[in-house]
A and B are shown apart, each in its own frame.
Chain A
Amino acid sequence: GESVGLHLPTLSVQEGDNSIINCAYSNSASDYFIWYKQESGKGPQFIIDIRSNMDKRQGQRVTVLLNKTVKHLSLQIAATQPGDSAVYFCAALLSGNTPLVFGKGTRLSVIA
């Protein structure tokens, strides 16, 4: 199976600074990873995803880095804004028809 853990349950950053949220996974056979953002009272919202054959993928103000050697991935948010305040989940998927396994989440608070 797979288990996913986040390094810090909470993270506070100053508005305008960059945020880095870390995640570790257990199964080296996992080949797909995804980050979700969940605001209070809402369902998780897709941010960015990455396959295991990639090391880095960039979106708008977000970058996901994957280090398969140490089974670690991170989400970087550039120029963090108050609207980025939310809980961020990483999830991993083993190959084949297996379900996404979510971590516990990191609560990001942006200080104005």
Chain B
Amino acid sequence: EAGVAQSPRYKIIEKRQSVAFWCNPISGHATLYWYQQILGQGPKLLIQFQNNGVVDDSQLPKDRFSAERLKGVDSTLKIQPAKLEDSAVYLCASSLPGQGWSEKLFFGSGTQLSVL
């Protein structure tokens, strides 16, 4: 089974520039998540999609971050304009609802963003 695919693997930009990340979840997974992981910390949820609808975006800095999931499959996360504190690994995860009591998330390898 193919895992969660993310690109690019690394990105270096200057502050105030814009950047976009792409995610392709595991086939058939209806739920997709974007997490931000700052160095030395655990992942923090930015946004959760169920199919192409937003379930939770309460922690997404909406003045600069946006995300979409067209057709309920692939998703893109955009930052515009970027700030120094946005330097982090951006992880995409997906899950298959209806697995009973398990809430297992499958993560991609992430995009490491450095804002200079």
Interface-located stretch among A14-22, A37-45, A65-73, A74-82: A37-45
Q: Are A97 and B56 in contact (CB under 8 A)?
A: yes
Q: Are A103 and B106 in contact (CB under 8 A)?
A: no
List of B residues within 8 angstroms of A43 by Cβ: 4, 91, 93, 107-110
Q: Are A45 and B107 in contact (CB under 8 A)?
A: yes
| Pick from A44, A49, A98, A103: contact of B107, CB under 8 Å | A44
List of A residues within 8 angstroms of B48 by Cβ: 99
Q: Are A104 and B101 in contact (CB under 8 A)?
A: no
Interface string of B41-77 (1 = CB under 8 A from A): 1111100100000011000000000000000000000
List of B residues within 8 angstroms of A110 by Cβ: none
List of B residues within 8 angstroms of A86 by Cβ: none
Interface size class of B (residues with CB under 8 A): 20 to 34
Interface string of A74-112 (1 = CB under 8 A from B): 000000000000000101010001111011110000000
Given A43-B93, A104-B40, A99 and B104 contact (CB-CB distance below 8 Å): no
Complex CA gap A103/B42 in Å reads 5
Closest to A9 in B: B40
Q: Are A46 and B101 in contact (CB under 8 A)?
A: no
Binding site for A on B (CB under 8 A): 4, 33, 40-45, 48, 55-56, 91, 93, 101-110
Known contacts A43-B93, A49-B102, A49-B103, then 12 further A-B pairs from the complex at CB < 8 Å, ordered by chain A residue = A32-B101, A43-B109, A44-B43, A46-B105, A89-B43, A91-B42, A97-B55, A99-B48, A102-B42, A103-B42, A105-B41, A105-B42
4 smallest A-B Cβ distances: which pairs? Answer: A102-B42, A43-B107, A99-B45, A44-B107
